[in-house]
Amino acid sequence: MLGIGDDAAAWQPSRSHLSVITSDALVDGVHFDSRAMPGRAIGHRALAANLSDIAAMGARPVLATVALGIAPDTPLELVLECYRGLASLAVKFDTAIVGGDIVRAPALTFSITVVGEVARTRLRRRSGGRAGDVLAVTGALGASRAGLELLRRDLDVAADAALAARAAFATPEPRVREGGWLAASTHVHALMDCSDGLSTDVARLARASGCGATLSAVAVHPAAEAVARAAGHDPLDYALDGGEDFELIVAVAPRAFGHLRERFARRFGTPLRAVGVLEREPGLRFLDAGAQTPRALAAAGFDHLANVPG
């Protein structure tokens, strides 16, 4: 492999695999706040979002390019801290940073591209779900949103919950190994990451699969529970609409789910929890505990285009 310092970087892709690619841009003041977050967290999150997209294809990351926009008032130390956060996550997941660009920009900006590889039979799209599939998520949801709340204001929360929420927000762990493992099962029909909030992303997976979905038992993270209560918010809102948890959403054949859940928990020490079901009827619904019939649910998570003028 030939890295930084030539016109382009070169590598030998695996002969038996497909290549996958994803790009994200993150801008100071839009996607993060460099005055309120440590540089390491900014860099970590920027790469985590892309690694999560790669994991959501069932692929493993191979390399990344990073184009960095630096504002006139960006302290050099902040840039270095961002890069350290990014590089240490890259090392953790064997992702080589092979090049990029450094330019002047009006705000600190990261444009990251990650290339990964996946065996053809393991590639998972969000459109592969089937009516009747169990919808499940890895881990639990809402902790990143809770961490954001703790950045915004002081709340009286137990120390361990505060620590967990802050870590979930600042240094979320993309489910890279979990994605590859799940994609190895033929019973896993669709895979997607939950970066924009469960309601938004399940609605997308269902629509792409030509289905609707009913959510019922959403796995709320204990830290989200604690912070939301202290803030006077509904913990379920954090889990449904918070986003940036970088957990994986999986559509699994119902007869295979129980066994997969057990093997997943044993392999990763993390639960794989059922949160709903894919259905023939379009739309997104939520079945409250004890209710007989589900209610319609609006997808209220982050919509990229809603932030764009036009």
Window 100-139: residues binding a copy of itself (CB under 8 A): 100-107, 109, 111, 113, 115-116, 118, 120, 123, 125-127
Among residues 274, 169, 269, 174, the alpha carbon closest in space to that of 223 is found at: 169
HSE-CB at 164 with a 13 A cutoff on CA atoms is 16
Task: State which residue, 13 or 210, has the beta carbon closest to a copy of itself.
Answer: 13
310 forms part of the interface with a copy of itself (CB under 8 A): yes
13 forms part of the interface with a copy of itself (CB under 8 A): yes
309 forms part of the interface with a copy of itself (CB under 8 A): yes
* Smallest gap from residue 51 Cβ to a copy of itself (A): 11
Please select the residue that binds a copy of itself; options are 159, 289, 296, 305, rule is CB under 8 A: 305
Tell me the backbone φ, ψ of residue 21, rounded to 5 degrees. -140, 145
Please select the residue that binds a copy of itself; options are 98, 137, 183, 227, rule is CB under 8 A: 98
Radius of gyration of the chain measured on its C-alpha atoms: 20
Task: State which residue, 91 or 102, has the beta carbon closest to a copy of itself.
Answer: 102
In the block, residue with structure tokens 């979930």: 168
Task: State which residue, 58 or 235, has the beta carbon closest to a copy of itself.
Answer: 58
Task: State which residue, 204 or 285, has the beta carbon closest to a copy of itself.
Answer: 204
Q: Identify residue 112 by its one-letter amino acid code.
A: I
d(CA 145, CA 70): 27
In eight-state DSSP terms, residue 270 is: S
Range list of β-strands (E), 246-298:
248-252, 272-279, 284-286, 295-296
Q: 56 in helix, strand or coil?
A: coil
- Per-residue interface string for the shown chain with a copy of itself, residues 169-208, x marking contact by CB under 8 A: -----------------------xx--------------x
Tokens (6 digits) for 78: 């902040």
Tokens (6 digits) for 281: 């009827």
Range list of β-strands (E), 72-179:
96-104, 109-119, 134-138
In the block, residue with structure tokens 């591209």: 113
Q: Which stretch binds a copy of itself (CB under 8 A): 82-90, 140-148, 267-275, 299-307?
A: 299-307
Q: Give the H or E element holding residue 144.
A: helix 143-152
9 forms part of the interface with a copy of itself (CB under 8 A): yes
Task: State which residue, 181 or 286, has the beta carbon closest to a copy of itself.
Answer: 181
| Cβ proximity of 268 and 139 under 8 Å | no
* Smallest gap from residue 276 Cβ to a copy of itself (A): 20
* Smallest gap from residue 100 Cβ to a copy of itself (A): 5
304 forms part of the interface with a copy of itself (CB under 8 A): yes
Of 26-65, which residues contact a copy of itself (CB under 8 A)? 26-27, 29-31, 52-54, 56-57, 59, 63, 65
* Smallest gap from residue 266 Cβ to a copy of itself (A): 26
Task: State which residue, 141 or 155, has the beta carbon closest to a copy of itself.
Answer: 141
d(CA 88, CA 110): 16
